[in-house]
Structure 1
Amino acid sequence: MRLKSVPLGVVAGLLLVVIALTASVRSFGAMLPSDIPAWLQAHVGDSDGQISQVVLERARALYLKKVAQGAVKNPCYFAMDATRPGDLGNGVPGRRYYVVCEASQSFRAISSGHGGGRNLKGVVDFSNGRRCAKNFGNAMDSELTAGGEYMTGEAKTSFKGFYRIGAKQDSAFLRTFIQFDGEGEAANARQRVIGGHAAQVLRGMCMRKNPNSSYADHDGLVPFGKLVDYAGGRSNGCTSWSPADARQIIPMVKDNPTTLYIYPESRDIAAVAQKAAKAHSLSGSSLYWNASCLKEIGVPKFWPKKTLEPIIAQYRKDHPAPPPQPVPICKEQ
């Protein structure tokens, strides 16, 4: 069979069409979110229970980088958006901590505490309210959240004391702490003892006689207190989960490290603060902050350790802590 020759002009025209279509496809591809699978993209948004685009993109990039390096084999990774409210009102905690397991197409949004900061009275106030975080930082003893890249580390379970669970029935409170190792501005996470744990603590501590307990001291006394749940509230800079969520999260990373990306970083805070200080809206820009919290806090601030640590050290020097007092003996046995 003999093929008919195609005029050169037609060939040139077809080539131009192919080039134009290729350029259009590339242009469309550039507009799409970075290869995020469709099932996961469906969870992207700025409403409660959703994850904002920039937070997911950075968390996913960190995870894929660590997987490629061989540092992570865990099928799941974490993200946190500390610009979102921790309290939605009427006792409803805001969901701003995310557990993403792409292999099983699982996405969960849960509550988490944020760094409460401190108010060094008469010197400087970098404290945060219960609902929204205005201050962020990486200084020692600042009790602030520092955004950035983290890896989960070892798990350490500690005995904190006993608490009452029924009529003359006590239970030992054992809390597991997952150490975080950070990079960049969060590189001092281990020195700051930053990690994740259940949002529970014993308050009103006293010592009770219980010589048969394996936790008793040389005088046969054990610590006793009231178990308090502060899920959705503030923390000392650590990531705190509700007890139920902690029971699911901790086994996921015990002896199986994964990544955690916390938003915002200092660069994000600086960019948003510049806009907010001029009363400019973030809409239409590439910047992101939770709208309700930004309205509440005004201008966010990042406190670098080189600025804040000398202030904290001087405050401690000027206001020395009183000598430690022995824990009192419980009045009721």
Structure 2
Amino acid sequence: MTKRIFNFNPGPSTIPLSVLEQAQSELLNYNNTGMSVIEISHRSKDFENIIFQAETRLKNLLNLDDNYRVLFLQGGASSQFSMIPQNLLTEGKQANYAITGSFAKKACEEANLFGTTHIAASSKDQNHNYIPLKDKFSLSENPAYLHITTNNTIYGTQYKEYPSFDNIPLIADMSSDILCKPIDGKQFALIYAGAQKNLGPSGVTIIVIRKDLLEISNKTIPTMQRYDIMADNNSLYNTPPTFSIYLLNLVLGWIENQGGITAIEDHNESKAKIIYDAIDNSNGFYMGHAVPEFRSTMNVTFTLQNSDLDKQFIAEASEKGIIGIKGHRSVGGMRASIYNAMTQEGCQALVDFMLSFQKNNK
């Protein structure tokens, strides 16, 4: 294959080419073991070095200290919808949720199976085209935690500031924008994310958890659901998704080599701007879904003025090597997922196509 396409899928998504090339070069013989990284034991020193390096890198990139642990689990971010309340929702307390999209709603519904939930804020009234500000939050009387979804893949909205309330643990699903910009991870008691958007391939889910939550977590639930057991065993209680963790570690190294999170943020802001400018300057031919001040730098959602052109837009884009841009049915239109690994070249190719398509279909 002489030319890679531009993959705007929301996940699994594009991975840095240099990471894929390194994985390819090491596939048959990892670190002179005579085995593929897929074959080496998760109990071996070689793999322990991978998983410990990944934890260290992730904590450094999130500005975290030794008060946090990183876990590498399976089941996707959706598994955390139930694992969080099982571990942390205690009797007499309420799990508070900000409903800013489909996945936040699913997380709340799942928590309701294990205890009392409370909707602290919602953007449902405007089809989730904005993020409620902190002064619009109304917490329950005795919150166990507050859960937010920092970026909404389907609707293209993103928190620009995170709400915090005294000592109430803040939990965040960061599946679609983790490591897209600098943050102080110490704002959060727990962060979780599926890897398949910004961190690597599908198959591994990262959980960043403050140690005091490990201490108070429920000890009467099944072993595989317990955060403390997973932490005590360094995510090696059972066989983890070794190849996914290996690739995730390579992606973290790639972020470091790009200049770190600040450089990644500049890259992401620049990419998003050229697409949003094309939307805003189209005289209504393209219309963004998200309110401008809450626009995501990861998922650009927009509709065409004439929805009859949707199928034609997608088909012609595909011919240009641009795939994965069909929007979710909740919004319609298009969605360009431009995670960290998406190149400036790819975003410019999309914009060039948008301009050409508009000119030919006025």
Give TM-score, length-normalised by structure 2: 0.27
Structure having the larger proportion of residues in strand = 1
Structure having the larger proportion of residues in helix = 2
For the pair shown, which has the larger CA radius of gyration, 1 or 2? 1
Give TM-score, length-normalised by structure 1: 0.29
Higher relative contact order (CA 8 A, sep 6+): 2
